[in-house]
Amino acid sequence: MTLTTKINLALAVVFLAGLAITGYISHAILQDNAKREVITHAGMMMESALAARAYTINEIKPLLVDKLSEKFLPQTVPSYAATQEFNRLRQTRPEYWYKEATLNPTNPSDRSTEWETDIIQQFRKNGELTEIIGERETPTGPSLYLARPIRIKNPECLVCHGVPGDAPETMKVLYGTANGFGWQQNEIVGSQIVSVPLSVPFEKANYAFRAFIISQVATFAIIFIVLNIALRFIIIRPVRKMALIADQVSNGDLAVPEFRSDGKDEISQLGHSFNRMRRSVEKAMEMMKQ
């Protein structure tokens, strides 16, 4: 095995080890950053839903409360405003999703599914839990969900959800009296759940990772080529030349020119030492001839 081959193998081992380590770390960082970005987006969506609910309570409901005796208007329900806002968003971004999942809802479309019920039960078991973040597979790919509990804090909510007798007649005509009643003050009855797709940020992270790996490989290739050229001209060629001269001198050819060693680097110093050794050998051979 030649010296060049040994050096190249050592370089390859070091490069592959370094690439594996940096690749693992960079991939983990990029994936983590992608998740953080999605969590930020989910938090903004959740705040947007809360803003829609507050707007409905403070500005829309007071304008329509007098008409509730004639007809129940869903527009006065805070959850309706938040849900409608996201339904408009889903017309162009169907992969985004928002729901106010409830164990015992007035509107059957708000009833929690199995996995949503699991989230609600976690909030009910741990009253201090304020947020749950997780991942799940959806028909459009992996999604990250952000969930917060729906707790009955406002006593006015119990007017419509306490006992059926206190609820507006128009609401009972629209939804009936079988669902959405029996709620208690400070009870966790459901959860606001925002779902944001992970595919796009993960795709961006993977693109950045591939670009990083390709740049690393390209950089190593350039270094590898330059180093091999430098190795050939600075070390391999001078050493081969010294080996050829030594071989000729050992065969008795004293007419071969001395090794030319200009400079002050280690190879030049080796060349000077080699020339001194050669002259010593020549003198010894001449003395033997006498």
pLDDT in tens, 239-288: 777 777 777 766 766 666 766 766 676 777 777 777 777 777 777 666 76
50 shares a domain with 160:
yes
Q: Does residue 127 belong to any structural domain of this protein?
A: yes
Contacts of 196 by beta carbon, 8 Å cutoff, 6+ apart: 38, 41, 42, 45, 96, 143, 144, 145, 146
Q: What's residue 106's pLDDT?
A: 86
Q: Does residue 134 belong to any structural domain of this protein?
A: yes
Tokens encoding 31: 């994936």
Q: What's residue 132's pLDDT?
A: 93
171 shares a domain with 55:
yes
* Cβ–Cβ under 8 Å, residues 49 and 81: no
70 shares a domain with 46:
yes
Q: What's residue 125's pLDDT?
A: 92
State how far the Cα of 185 lies from the Cα of 207, in Å rounded to an integer: 50
Q: What's residue 289's pLDDT?
A: 64
Q: Does residue 22 belong to any structural domain of this protein?
A: no
Q: Does residue 21 belong to any structural domain of this protein?
A: no
Q: What's residue 54's pLDDT?
A: 84
189 shares a domain with 45:
yes
214 shares a domain with 178:
no
Per DSSP, helices labelled H in 129-265 are 157-161, 169-175, 199-231, 237-250
Q: What's residue 253's pLDDT?
A: 64
| Strand ranges of the sheet holding 97-102, from the earlier edge strand across to the other edge | 97-102, 188-197, 141-151, 132-138
Q: Does residue 46 belong to any structural domain of this protein?
A: yes
Q: What is the pTM of this model?
A: 0.70
238 shares a domain with 132:
no
* Cβ–Cβ under 8 Å, residues 132 and 117: no
Q: Which residue has the tokens 């002050």?
A: 264
233 shares a domain with 194:
no
227 shares a domain with 122:
no
Structural domain range at position 186: 38-198
Length of the chain: 290
194 shares a domain with 210:
no
189 shares a domain with 69:
yes
Q: What's residue 163's pLDDT?
A: 85
What CATH number is attached to the domain comprising 250?
Answer: 1.10.8.500
Please provide the distance, in angstroms rounded to a whole number, between the alpha carbons at the two ends of the chain.
43
Domain boundary among 149, 176, 198: 198
115 shares a domain with 211:
no
pLDDT tens, 110-121?
899 999 999 999
45 shares a domain with 181:
yes
Q: What's residue 108's pLDDT?
A: 85
With vertex at residue 83, the alpha carbon angle to CA 77 and CA 84, rounded to the nearest 5 degrees, is 90
Q: Does residue 109 belong to any structural domain of this protein?
A: yes
Q: What's residue 24's pLDDT?
A: 93
Q: Does residue 26 belong to any structural domain of this protein?
A: no
What stretches in the chain show pLDDT beneath 70? 249-250, 252-256, 258-259, 261-263, 265, 284-286, 288-290
State how far the Cα of 218 lies from the Cα of 155, in Å rounded to an integer: 66
Number of domains making up the chain: 2
Q: What's residue 166's pLDDT?
A: 79
Domain boundary among 162, 181, 198: 198
Domain boundary among 170, 198, 226: 198
Q: Does residue 18 belong to any structural domain of this protein?
A: no
Contacts of 93 by beta carbon, 8 Å cutoff, 6+ apart: none
